[in-house]
Structure 1
Amino acid sequence: MPDQVHLEKKRYSLTAMLGDAGSLPFIMLAGLMVFAHLNGAGLESVSLAGLYPAHVFIAYSAVILTFLGGALWERSRRAESGGSSDLAKAMIVLSNFVALTAWACLLLATVGATMMIFAVCLLAGGFLSLLWADVMTESRYFTLKLLSSSYGLMRVRITSLVVLLHILVAALMFLELNV
């Protein structure tokens, strides 16, 4: 049994490390946009390998959101084997909806500045909806059991950071519209 506990801690450490590393591009891209805004030159004055940082932010966000949505498939399998077929079906539908929304956000980002802001807001909503789905599916009775686990606390921490960065990026883009 102690070996199982050690294995779980080791696996969590890898999960936590990858989760934290996955948040770094969000932080760096938002930081680059804050720098451009504070510099007074505007968001379009900076680039990342020749790309507009807001486009890179949206593309990265869409990929990560789709990845997290795919993780619901495993949870749905567990829910179905636990006797919750309705919950499993809802999770599969949500997973597909989130992936299609992320793809739509990539397309919206090509339309114009206002649609880019809308895309950033939709992506933030997607991250919140997947966190909500994790909390709801952790227990058949919708308790906050997830929030008492180390994985759950990591999910809340990273999702909160990512959503706040989405709000920051959307606000910076909005401020630039009104300049």
Structure 2
Amino acid sequence: MLSGKKFATLPWLLGIAGLIPFVGLATVILLSVPGWQAVAFQAFLYYSAVILSFLGGVHWGVAMSIDHEGSHHFTSRMVVAMAPSLLAWPALMLSPRFALLALMTGFLLIRLYEAQSDSVERLPPWYTSLRTLLTVVVVISHLSILALLTLT
């Protein structure tokens, strides 16, 4: 097992548990009857929007805890912290395909932001690998539903 600096058990367990609704609901959408598909699709979109907004909250907390108010890092991180919510909420009002695309794009953009050296320096060492794994699974879940919508 990796050292405590590179692997934090509780965040990893909670992160993996947070994938259950993404994978479970995508599976229901892909394999179930239309009535259940519709319910699962709405639940998937809402959960996706909530989790994307949560990721913004992570960066709000980092800005408040590490960066100094008025600094470039503080200002840019606070703006980035608000962006996921401002993307996720209106995405819920879009057509199904555009909602999925908007939310998936939000997950990819926040992950790209977190991968910048400026972010890596301010986040725990275990965060990068955890977020990469979570983002891959979340994006695959969105893509699988998009594929189904495209085929039908």
Same fold by TM-score, threshold 0.5 exceeded?
yes
How far has the Cα of 1:9 moved from its partner? 7.7
The answer on 1:28 being equivalent to 2:4 is: no
* RMSD (CA atoms): 2.6
The residue number in structure 2 matching 1:127 is 107
Greater Cα offset, 165-174 or 22-31 = 165-174
1:14-163 equivalent positions in 2, closer than 5 A? 14-36=10-32, 45-47=34-36, 52-81=39-68, 85-108=71-94, 115-136=95-116, 137-139=119-121, 149-163=125-139
TM-score (norm 2): 0.84
1:156-175 equivalent positions in 2, closer than 5 A? 156-175=132-151
Structure with greater Cα Rg: 1
| % same residue | 30
Unaligned runs of 5+ in 1: 109-114
Unaligned runs of 5+ in 2: none
| Matches of 1:46 and 1:87, distance apart in 2 | 47
Aligned residues: 148
Larger relative contact order, structure 1 or 2 (CA cutoff 8 Å, min sep 6): 2
Query: Residues 54 and 63 from structure 1, CA distance in 2 versus in 1: closer, same or farther, beyond 3 angstroms?
Result: same
Post-superposition, which runs of at least 4 consecutive aligned residues in structure 1 deviate over 6 A? Answer: none
| Matches of 1:163 and 1:32, distance apart in 2 | 17
The residue number in structure 2 matching 1:111 is none
